[in-house]
Structure 1
Amino acid sequence: MTNSPFTPGIASQRLSPEDLSANFSDLHPPLDDHEALVAADRCYFCHDAPCMTACPTSIDIPLFIRQISTGTPEAAARTIFDQNILGGMCARVCPTETLCEEVCVRETAEGKPVLIGQLQRYATDKLMAAGVHPFTRAAATGKRVAVVGAGPAGLACAHRLALHGHDVDLYDARPKGGGLNEYGIAAYKAVGGFAGSELDWLMKIGGITLHTGKALGRDLSLEALKAEHDAVFLGMGLAGVNALRAEGEDKDGVANAVDFISDLRQAGDLSSLPVGRNVVVIGGGMTAVDAAVQSKLLGAENVTILYRRGRDEMPASRFEQDLAAAKGVRLVFNARPVRVTGNGTAAALEAEYTRSGPNGLEGTGETFTIAADQVLKAIGQTLEGAPEGLAIEGGKIAVTGAGRTSLAGVWAGGDCASGGEDLTVTAVAEGRDAAEDIHQTLMGG
């Protein structure tokens, strides 16, 4: 076992390569042909399908499941991609248990929904494995659009614009495109480099030029982008991380959960990743769960999620909460961090129990201490470097309609924009809809 240079309790090589490989295998193994037909046969093909209404991208779920049941999964994939060009990744990471599957009639009647997410993966994987891109680009319009951020919103926007015949310059601050899909989700949800493969497949539409290592405010200015392009779409996500506001958060061993996940996703050798013996993750969203579960899978002995409110208010779905618990993660509710203790490096976390009072959340005065040589902050991200002139609402770029900002010729979508939930599928819908609005505007509609 190799010690980390940061703090004595954090070390790499806690588990063998064989154990790590097993731990980070596919969370939901893909359905085979027979399993897909059996799963599809459970669908009632409702004419007023509540699952379709619950899908942020409005995929015609009964239609694509019927296409699977009739032995035409490639046609099913086309139905999915018509609405969600990142349907392959969304099938892996969407919280289907709180969206389409939660409202499935089978769930209501039997407590067991149709496996919509897994069927979507089955269909999209079939078509993508064939190396086929199901769309043909329209004739060139002579218009050029800048898309800032190659995450879900930016990719969906870029693809739809290219489909309409526009040329797209796609910029991203990181060395690779993909955004959240590449850097920000749990490794066991998208194994085998799927995010990169999906990006390569999407780019087959043509007309999109990817420029990596280009950040807005550092390498790009909004003024220059507007001058050189007919329209601009901002989908750069949220790069900042909220402060813990706890004494000692500057100690070694305290880090941002998003950076921890990013390092894990880009690691060539999981055994080289340092992880603490006693890990505490602060927060209650998907990032918190992903960081906690992966800490456990890397070999941490004790992993705790500390969330300031009750279980029912936790942003992560009950499925994700149960997944964390099943992997050995302890969930502590109604508690907030007070201070990180230790002589220069984290050794423990002191926390205070909370309750809902007349003025909102308040401390009870009762404290407890958890051993913690690694503390990961997953308490939300913030917008950094928003260009001047853009109206801001709730810390994000204010948008109206299909992503129109306060500046003419500039649209925004995804996590950096006000509006919908911070979900991959929502970002895809916002990028797609903004592209349609941009297209109509550029063509005089």
Structure 2
Amino acid sequence: MAEGQYKQGVAGGRLAPPQYAENFSDLHPPLDRHEALVEADRCYFCYDAPCMQACPTSIDIPLFIRQISTDNPLGAAKTIFEQNILGGMCARVCPTETLCEEVCVRETAEGKPVQIGQLQRYATDEAMARGKQFYTRAAASGRKVAVVGAGPAGLACAHRLAMHGHEVTVVEARPKAGGLNEYGIAAYKATDDFAQAEVDYITAIGGIAIVNDKVLGRDFALSELAASYDAVFLGAGLAGVNALRAEGEEAPGVENAVDFIATLRQSQDLSALEIGRRIVVIGGGMTAIDAAIQSKLLGAEEVTICYRRGKEQMNASEFEQELAAAKGVTIRHWLQPKRVLTEGGQVAGLEVEYTALRDGRLVGTGETIRIDADQVFKAIGQSFDGSPLNGSGNSIVMEGGRIKVDGEGRTSLAGVWAGGDCVDDGREDLTVSAVAAGRDAAESIHRTLTSNGRA
């Protein structure tokens, strides 16, 4: 947010300087050795473990926990990285409470699962702190692959391709690599510049060059990459933000939540960030929760999330909803935005309408209320902009607003694969799912490039 962009009720420096560091400290402080050993000892090491089946990257969870229990964190890290080279970040941001930990036998029996995410972090942090690399590059294949997007899918794809001996060039639109890990998650989930430390760890294998500030459709064309490289992987994120469809949503003081989070993540001085006294966040997913909590941590006095459906339909997990409530955020359900209210050219409130389900359809009831606000954040989902793909003709087939791929991540254009948020492959829009998509596409690319010695 530019200095002075908003007027009444919006300012920086609302808190005492030490409070910012405390508010944005690590959400889950890491386990020490003793804590990790005790927690690992709780695992039943189940045969046909449900936690492993629930992991989108199929990490052998019982094995890595057993390795921790025998005081072998590096062995555990190797087990994790075999399936998920971004295991360190996933340990921090994965909704483990709805994945591996939800199906943990301890959760079923006691309501207290093994802290799988924390144990994964313990192992991967140990390996990264020691600079321990478990993989070396295979002999040079002579093949070159371009990867568009340095987010989780692109980085996972690049690492696996480099491991197989291919030369990889990653082209990234932003100044830094990392994608959502760098720009899109709450600052208290990945402290101490961890996203960049992970990028450095991944690229240390060699054979990966990252070129920043290069935008598909502006600085280069897909046709150029396809002609210059033996294969291309598209790991672009979701750049578009859905509209509120509310009157006056272009008013100063209405901002995209993803932009707010990105600005906060890149800030060197949190006290300089301007935040309102009364904030309304529209949406029900992780972005809405992250924007709301961080608004509160920056010093906002009242933060309200408005979601058009009920608690059970929110994409944000129950843990995240409870975290928001614990931080003082109010979550209100069955409300949709109708009109942004302004005074003196600035946001002064939001008129919202009650909603209800009628014959299975969500409808407005006609009853409205006003919620005072001097800042409104939109967090109602993002969309994929496929226009830069087909500058030279419709070579890439789209489906449901995203790139259509087959079971191996191949697009309709020969030699081009895709994965992550830009495709609709049935996976959830999670970091761990993007990693799985990038990894699997890389294996498909490798098989294609080495089949009969030709692409």
Normalization by structure 2: what TM-score?
0.96
What's the CA shift string for 1:80-126, capped at 9, x where partnerless?
Answer: 00000000000000000000000000000000000000000000000
Equivalent in the alignment of 1:404 = 410
Secondary structure at the aligned position of 1:443 is classed as helix
Equivalent in the alignment of 2:430 = 423
Secondary structure at the aligned position of 1:415 is classed as coil
| 2:373 paired with 1:372 | yes
Equivalent in the alignment of 1:362 = 363
Following TM superposition, by how much is the alpha carbon of 1:17 offset from its aligned partner in structure 2, in angstroms? 1.7
Equivalent in the alignment of 2:451 = 444
Secondary structure at the aligned position of 2:27 is classed as coil
8 Å CA contact 1:3, 1:10 repeated in 2: no
Following TM superposition, by how much is the alpha carbon of 1:3 offset from its aligned partner in structure 2, in angstroms? 7.4
| 2:419 paired with 1:413 | yes
What's the CA shift string for 1:222-269, capped at 9, x where partnerless?
Answer: 000000000000001100101110001010000000000000000000
Cα distance in structure 1, aligned partners of 2:233 and 2:300: 41
| 2:78 paired with 1:72 | no
- Percent identical residues: 68
Equivalent in the alignment of 2:180 = 180
Question: What is the root-mean-square deviation in Å for CA atoms of aligned residues?
Answer: 1.0
1:239-250 maps to which residues of 2 (within 5 A)?
Answer: 239-250=239-250
Following TM superposition, by how much is the alpha carbon of 1:413 offset from its aligned partner in structure 2, in angstroms? 0.4
Following TM superposition, by how much is the alpha carbon of 1:317 offset from its aligned partner in structure 2, in angstroms? 0.2
* 1:387 pairs with one of 389, 403, 407: 389
Cα distance in structure 2, aligned partners of 1:5 and 1:261: 17
Cα distance in structure 2, aligned partners of 1:5 and 1:441: 52
Equivalent in the alignment of 2:32 = 32
Following TM superposition, by how much is the alpha carbon of 1:386 offset from its aligned partner in structure 2, in angstroms? 4.4
Secondary structure at the aligned position of 1:259 is classed as helix
Secondary structure at the aligned position of 1:342 is classed as strand
Equivalent in the alignment of 2:298 = 298
Letter in 1 for 2:382: Q
Following TM superposition, by how much is the alpha carbon of 1:359 offset from its aligned partner in structure 2, in angstroms? 5.7
Unaligned runs of 5+ in 1: none
Equivalent in the alignment of 2:278 = 278
8 Å CA contact 1:64, 1:77 repeated in 2: yes
Cα distance in structure 2, aligned partners of 1:386 and 1:245: 25
1:13-412 maps to which residues of 2 (within 5 A)?
Answer: 13-343=13-343, 344-358=345-359, 360-384=361-385, 385-388=387-390, 389-412=395-418
Cα distance in structure 1, aligned partners of 2:4 and 2:300: 14
What's the CA shift string for 1:196-243, capped at 9, x where partnerless?
Answer: 111011110100000000111111100000000000000011001011
Cα distance in structure 1, aligned partners of 2:419 and 2:220: 18
Cα distance in structure 2, aligned partners of 1:205 and 1:77: 16
8 Å CA contact 1:7, 1:346 repeated in 2: no
8 Å CA contact 2:221, 2:388 repeated in 1: no
8 Å CA contact 1:289, 1:320 repeated in 2: yes
Unaligned runs of 5+ in 2: none
Cα distance in structure 1, aligned partners of 2:215 and 2:291: 26
8 Å CA contact 1:4, 1:12 repeated in 2: no
Moved more, 51-60 or 395-404: 395-404
Cα distance in structure 2, aligned partners of 1:39 and 1:386: 48
Aligned length: 444
8 Å CA contact 1:52, 1:60 repeated in 2: yes
What's the CA shift string for 1:258-285, capped at 9, x where partnerless?
Answer: 0000000000000011111000110000
Cα distance in structure 1, aligned partners of 2:399 and 2:308: 25
Following TM superposition, by how much is the alpha carbon of 1:6 offset from its aligned partner in structure 2, in angstroms? 2.3
